C-alpha cells in the first residue's frame, strides 16, 4: 500500500561491547524507520485491516485506545491517507489533550471520550455502534489491531527475518504481533515476548488460543521488566535508554522497546543464551511516546 516504503527498514547490528560478546550476534530490526507516524508493527497490524475496510466498502474506521496510544495516531494517519473517516474512542477524560491526541485530531480523527467503566465494555459486539450510531458503514478495529487481519498483517514482518537467527525478541502489548510472528516463523526459532505491564503474563492464554497448533511451541512471555506498569518508568530506565543510544545510535521508546532491551541485557548477564545464539530484536516504533520525557533524553 502506497504510504509505506519498506526500503527504509534495516537490520542494524548492536555494538558487541553492549552485549559483552556473550552471543554470536545481536541485531535490531529497525521497524521504527518505516514511517515517522505509522511506524513499527503498527503499520503491519493496520495494513490488512485497512485493506479489508476498503474492499468491503466501509467508509469509517473506529478504534479504541488510551491518551498516549501509538495505535490511535497510526490509525488516524492511515485512514486519512486512504480516504476513510476515523473515530478514536479514548479511555478517560482529558481537560488538556495529550500530544498524541492532538496529533490524532490534526490528522482528521474524531475523538470520543468514555469513562473507564464504559471502556471496559469495548469487547462487546455492539459497543462501538452504540457510541457512533450516526455513522453508516462502520468498521471496528480492536485496540492494538487485535483481530484476524491484525494478526495476519503482523505475520508479514517475518519477511525481514533470516532463518539464521536462533531467537526473535519482540515487545508485547495485545499479543497480536507475537501471534502473527509465531504463526509464520520457523518452529526452530525461539520467540521471546516482553510484556511492559504488571501481570502481563495473562496474555499467555490469549496467545496460545490464536497460535496455529503446529506452531504453538518454542515461545515464552515474560513481564519481569515492567518498571512499575504499563507506561511507567523511572530514572534507571531513562539512563538505560540514553546509554543504549550513545553506544548504538538506536533510539528506544519509553513504553515498549526500552523495557525489552533492558530485559535482554539482564538475560545476557544471567547467561540465559548459549554462546552461539543469534538474536534479532524487533524495534516496534512508537517513538512519539517519548514526548513526555524528551527533555531527559539525549536524542
Digit-coded pLDDT (tens) for 123-171: 887 787 777 776 667 899 999 999 999 999 999 999 999 999 999 999 9
Domains recognised in the chain with CATH numbers: 6-40+147-296 (3.40.50.1100), 41-145 (3.40.50.1100)
Q: What is the mean pLDDT of residues 203-219?
A: 97
- Cell output for 112: 470520543
Q: What is the pLDDT of residue 289?
A: 86
For 97-133, write each residue's pLDDT tens digit: 998 999 999 999 999 999 988 888 888 877 877 777 7
Q: How confident is the model at residue 1 (pLDDT cuts 50, 70, 90)?
A: low
DSSP, residue by residue, the chain: -TT--GGG--EEEPPTTTTTT-SSEEEEEEGGGS-SSS-THHHHHHHHHHHHHHHTT--EEEEEE-TT-HHHHHHHHHHHHTT-EEEEEEES--SS--HHHHHHHHTT-EEEEE-HHHHTTTTSTTHHHHHTTT-SSEEEPPGGG-SHHHHHHHHGGGGG--TT-SEEEEE-SSSHHHHHHHHHS-TTSEEEEE--STTGGGHHHHHHHHS-GGG--SEEEE-S--TTSTT---HHHHHHHHHHHHHH-----TTTHHHHHHHHHHHHHHT-S-TT-EEEEEE---GGGGGGGGGGS--
* Residue 173 C-alpha from the chain's centroid: 6
For 38-92, write each residue's pLDDT tens digit: 999 999 999 999 999 999 999 999 999 999 899 999 999 999 999 999 999 999 9
pTM for this prediction: 0.94
Angular region, 137: left φ>0, alpha ψ -120 to 50, beta rest: left
206, with CB counted inside 10 A (0-12, 13-18, 19+), is middle
Q: How big is the chain, counted in residues?
A: 299
Query: Worst-scoring range by mean pLDDT, 56-70, 130-144, 236-250, 284-298?
Result: 130-144
Q: What is the mean pLDDT of residues 200-205?
A: 95
Amino acid at each position: 500500500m502506497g504510504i509505506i516504503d519498506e526500503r527504509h527498514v534495516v537490520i542494524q547490528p548492536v555494538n558487541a561491547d553492549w552485549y559483552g560478546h556473550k552471543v554470536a550476534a545481536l541485531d535490531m530490526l529497525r521497524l521504527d524507520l518505516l514511517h515517522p507516524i505509522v511506524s513499527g508493527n503498527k503499520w503491519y497490524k493496520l495494513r490488512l485491516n485497512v485493506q479489508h475496510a476498503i474492499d468491503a466498502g466501509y467508509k469509517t474506521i473506529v478504534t479504541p485506545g488510551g491518551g498516549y496510544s501509538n495505535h490511535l495516531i497510526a490509525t488516524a494517519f492511515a485512514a486519512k491517507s486512504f480516504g476513510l473517516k476515523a473515530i478514536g474512542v479514548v479511555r478517560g477524560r482529558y481537560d488538556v489533550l495529550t500530544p498524541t491526541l492532538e496529533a490524532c485530531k490534526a490528522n482528521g480523527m474524531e475523538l470520543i471520550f468514555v469513562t473507564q467503566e464504559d471502556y471496559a465494555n469495548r469487547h462487546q459486539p455492539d459497543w462501538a455502534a452504540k457510541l457512533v450510531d450516526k455513522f453508516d458503514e462502520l468498521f471496528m478495529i480492536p485496540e492494538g489491531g487485535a483481530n484476524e487481519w491484525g494478526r495476519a498483517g503482523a505475520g508479514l514482518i517475518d519477511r525481514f527475518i533470516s532463518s539464521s537467527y536462533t531467537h526473535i525478541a519482540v515487545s508485547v502489548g495485545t499479543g497480536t504481533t507475537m501471534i502473527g510472528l509465531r504463526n509464520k516463523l520457523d518452529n526452530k526459532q525461539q520467540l521471546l515476548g516482553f510484556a511492559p505491564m504488571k501481570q502481563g503474563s495473562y496474555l499467555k492464554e490469549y496467545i496460545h488460543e490464536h497460535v496455529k497448533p503446529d506452531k504453538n511451541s518454542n515461545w515464552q512471555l515474560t513481564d519481569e521488566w515492567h518498571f512499575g506498569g504499563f507506561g511507567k518508568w523511572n530514572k534507571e530506565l531513562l539512563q538505560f535508554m540514553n546509554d543504549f543510544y550513545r553506544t548504538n545510535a538506536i533510539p528506544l521508546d519509553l513504553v515498549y522497546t526500552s523495557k525489552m532491551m533492558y530485559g535482554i541485557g539482564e538475560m545476557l548477564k544471567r547467561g540465559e543464551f548459549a554462546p552461539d545464539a543469534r538474536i534479532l530484536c524487533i524495534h516496534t516504533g512508537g517513538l512519539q511516546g517519548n514526548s513526555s520525557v524528551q527533555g531527559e533524553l539525549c536524542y
